[in-house]
A and B are shown apart, each in its own frame.
Chain A
Amino acid sequence: GAGVSQTPSNKVTEKGKYVELRCDPISGHTALYWYRQSLGQGPEFLIYFQGTGAADDSGLPNDRFFAVRPEGSVSTLKIQRTERGDSAVYLCASSLRGTYTDEQFFGPGTRLTVL
């Protein structure tokens, strides 16, 4: 079956621009997660959705970052006024119920480069 897909796979933008990154979770998965992975590091949690609502957004670094999941399926991570430090691979994951030890399935990521 189809796994988690993310688009675009690569995004190059200029400092100060706005970007949107899209995640299509596995069909039927109620929980969706966004992580950011900088070069040479492990993924860092950004935000977690249970259905349409953000159950935990404590990992968002500042108010330039925002994410939505309006119909409880596809999610969009939005970054305003991008900075060079935002350059990283943005990973999306989904899980069936979002319960304890529920396996998270990761997408291939979107590599964001801010020039």
Chain B
Amino acid sequence: TQLLEQSPQFLSIQEGENLTVYCNSSSVFSSLQWYRQEPGEGPVLLVTVVTGGEVKKLKRLTFQFGDARKDSSLHITAAQPGDTGLYLCAGERNTGRRALTFGSGTRLQVQP
């Protein structure tokens, strides 16, 4: 059983469309991070959210942390082919462990 469930698993859209990726859990996380991973590369951090209800914007990307700190979303406005990749959410639980718990990922394909 995956502690962090991501949806959708796959998404293929046209350039210029908007999309939202969801990351849900029944557990509380002290922080949640979003990464993007390209083929043959390691994940690269996009953002960290730590406060329930927090919203962060990074150019065309908007990240939200749920009030109860159990879920998060990533919204991309006017997607571009360069946004193509695997998007991973990862949480850090308030158990003293530094290890990240990753979701299974959302594979995004943006067609030109």
Contact = CB atoms under 8 A, between A and B. Distances in A.
A104 B40 CA distance: 18
A108 B41 CA distance: 4
Interface string A77-99: 00000000000000101010011
Given A42-B88, A42-B104, A104 B45 contact: yes
7 contacts: A31-B98, A35-B102, A42-B6, A45-B99, A45-B100, A101-B48, A104-B100
Contacts of A70: none
Contacts of B99: 33, 45, 48, 56, 58-59
Nearest to A4: B42
Interface residues on B, range: 20 to 34
B48 A108 contact: no
A55 interface: yes
B91 to A, nearest CB: 11
Lowest 5 CB-CB distances: which A-B pairs, in order?
A: A106-B42, A42-B102, A45-B99, A43-B102, A42-B88
- Residue with the highest number of chain B CB atoms closer than 10 Å, among A31, A35, A58: A35
A102 to B, nearest CB: 8
A14 interface: no
B56 to A, nearest CB: 13
B100 A101 contact: no
| Majority secondary structure of chain B interface residues (helix, strand, loop or mixed) | loop
Interface residues on A, range: 20 to 34
B50 A41 contact: no
A106 B44 CA distance: 7
Interface string A25-69: 000000101010000111111001000000110110000000000
Contacts of B76: none
Given A106-B43, A108-B41, A44 B102 contact: yes
Nearest to A38: B104
B34 to A, nearest CB: 12
A49 to B, nearest CB: 10
Nearest to A46: B99
B101 interface: yes
